[in-house]
Structure 1
Amino acid sequence: MTGSPAWARKQLADALKEARERCGLSIKDAAKALAVDSSKISRIENNDWKLPSLRYVDDALTVYQVTDPKRREQLLIWAEEGRQKGWWEEYRDVLDPTLLGYEAEASAIRTYEALLVPGLLQTPAYAEAVFRGGQAVDDGLIARRIEARLARKRTLERDTPPSFYAVIDEAALRKHVGGPEVMREQIQHLVTMADRPNIIIQIMPDAVGAHAGMSGPFTVLEYSTSSGAPAVVHLETAAGDFYVEERDAVERYGRRHGHLCGSALDATVSARYLWDLVGQLK
């Protein structure tokens, strides 16, 4: 088991599409051969499914002429794993399960935040203040979101956690989200997290001026070479969560994060900056 049904479904969807295209079948022809509607194949290849059918996958591999036993076995394993439920499924009412599934399998996570502390590094009090955000939100819903946010931190606490590289704009730390005490606790938490060997936190100072992150926050999720999974970019907007998968675009975001790391204070100076900020909030 990979531990991430969402990740397994994504790999399976991509593999089935690749197999169909390699054998030269159009969606219409594949649908006819499999005795299903064309829209079903389109949904599957767009990863718009919840529980993959083992029988369908097996039939599709035959129609798509996937004869390598090891390859067939791998795709059927993904189909079986994709039928399971990850721990995050219970939070799909308040968080995007696709993101949680991607995070659960990532070997490296590179993120940039302009106005907020990254979600994986937020304290409960800070998260609550963010969720309220001056809006009239039901207390029960806020509690549910906080619970989900804390559960999401399992990503950084698993046995083999991903490398986590966060560039946080100084503006995010100067904003008194929840008030001085909440911010003090939050920044102290950043200092603690930065001590972990798999986590690097860099601060982007205002003095830098224009930089590579001016167009907004983003997160690049990368996977081990052995997994065969391509990197994905996550963009969180008011209209919902979006994922960039086109290789050239993902590489551009990767380079952008590299430029941000080069412009920001290095990890050691950033740690001193955070400690100084804690002192100012006493």
Structure 2
Amino acid sequence: MQRAYGPSVRRRRLNVRLRKYREQRGETTGQVARALGWQQTKVSKIETGERKKVTPEELDGLLDYYGEHSPEVREALHECARLGNQRGWWARYRELLPSGLPDFEVEASVIKTYECQVVPGLLQTPDYAEAVFRANLVRSDQEIAKRLEGRMKRQEVLNRVDPPEYWVIVDEAVLRRTVGSRQVMAQQLRHLTHMAARHNVNISVLPFDEGAHPATMGSFVIMEYIDPMDAGIGYVETPTSSLYVEDPAEVSELNSLFAGAQGAALSPGRSLTFIGDVIESLEA
């Protein structure tokens, strides 16, 4: 499968590089804007990503001002600007995937997930995912079908020739909560055991017996990247919105929470045995 790219990742890479250039000069966005004859908000919005499109002329103006004359670097940054303006496959599901999470998943080299409620979306079977979507009683059959199609398409990130390392910690509640039916649940848990056999997928169960643990705050995702310009990013969902965590200190805190939960969880081998026992109880 051909590797996709994340427009948001490219925009973020460009924004970070431009901000570093400015900071190295010890200037404010207002000073840069005045030197270029721009509005201060224009420079600020380019750096924060609020301005989605940066034209070749604008980028050349910034790079000339910052003294970046390397042809290789300029070409790479122009590519970031160009690809950042394009749209990934998930654009057709944009109204159903408003968080833009696939933008960041497709280029991640490592994805770490702690989930306390349901099986992570990248590991859901079609029947399980449909049951999760139907739990929202106001969704139409048409919307559910499109959400399901997008969910299955999103899972292809794990089927690439060079898939990301996927580290998953699921609370025991995820395994015990019957979603759909006992049959749907057993099928879903068997799918987890099959996915855990892949070289890049590691699944651990955090049992009830562990009591309180570092990640009791709730579910979250951490994504890491190979390119040094792409800092790790966290993702947290709430009932009404989603939040990206980009501050290095806060991402570090999420990594500490994940490590703490991992320390409290069963090893991948013992987790498979645990999941197998739950499957047996469902099929009894």
Provide TM-score, normalisation by structure 1: 0.94
Give the aligned partner of residue 218 of structure 2.
216
SS in 2 for 1:168: strand
Deviations 1:172-216 (A, max 9, x none): 111111121111111111011001110000000000000011011
CA contact (8 A) 2:4 2:106 kept: no
CA contact (8 A) 1:2 1:8 kept: no
| Worse-matched range after superposition: 32-41 or 4-13 | 32-41
Shift of 1:253: 1.1
Give the aligned partner of residue 279 of structure 1.
280
Deviations 1:242-264 (A, max 9, x none): 11111121112112111111111
| Worse-matched range after superposition: 226-235 or 163-172 | 226-235
Shift of 1:227: 4.4
- Structure 1 residues 173-184: aligned runs within 5 Å: 173-184=175-186
Indicate yes or no: 2:126 matched with 1:124: yes
Give the aligned partner of residue 264 of structure 1.
265
- Structure 1 residues 109-258: aligned runs within 5 Å: 109-224=111-226, 226-258=227-259
Shift of 1:159: 1.5
Percentage of identical aligned residues: 37
Shift of 1:134: 4.6
SS in 2 for 1:197: coil
- Distance, in Å, in 2 between the alignment partners of 1:96 and 1:221 is 18
Give the aligned partner of residue 101 of structure 1.
103
CA contact (8 A) 1:9 1:52 kept: no
- Distance, in Å, in 2 between the alignment partners of 1:272 and 1:107 is 28
| Worse-matched range after superposition: 107-116 or 22-31 | 22-31
Shift of 1:74: 2.1
| Worse-matched range after superposition: 22-31 or 138-147 | 22-31
Shift of 1:2: 6.9
SS in 2 for 1:234: strand
Give the aligned partner of residue 6 of structure 2.
4
CA gap of 1:239–1:43, structure 2 versus 1, over 3 A, is: farther
Misfit runs of 4+, over 6 Å: none
CA contact (8 A) 2:12 2:230 kept: no
CA contact (8 A) 2:126 2:148 kept: yes
- Distance, in Å, in 2 between the alignment partners of 1:96 and 1:267 is 33
- Distance, in Å, in 1 between the alignment partners of 2:221 and 2:40 is 33
CA gap of 1:112–1:13, structure 2 versus 1, over 3 A, is: same
SS in 1 for 2:204: strand
Give the aligned partner of residue 71 of structure 1.
73
Residue correspondences, number: 281
- Distance, in Å, in 1 between the alignment partners of 2:65 and 2:88 is 30
Residue 39 of structure 1 aligns to which amino acid in structure 2?
Answer: T
| Worse-matched range after superposition: 42-51 or 205-214 | 42-51
Q: CA RMSD in A?
A: 1.7
Unaligned runs of 5+ residues in structure 2 are: none
- Distance, in Å, in 2 between the alignment partners of 1:84 and 1:104 is 14
SS in 1 for 2:190: helix
SS in 1 for 2:100: helix
Residue 252 of structure 2 aligns to which amino acid in structure 1?
Answer: E
- Distance, in Å, in 2 between the alignment partners of 1:90 and 1:118 is 22
SS in 2 for 1:48: coil
Give the aligned partner of residue 58 of structure 2.
56
SS in 1 for 2:168: strand
Unaligned runs of 5+ residues in structure 1 are: none
Provide TM-score, normalisation by structure 2: 0.93
Residue 109 of structure 1 aligns to which amino acid in structure 2?
Answer: I
CA contact (8 A) 1:53 1:79 kept: yes
Shift of 1:97: 5.9
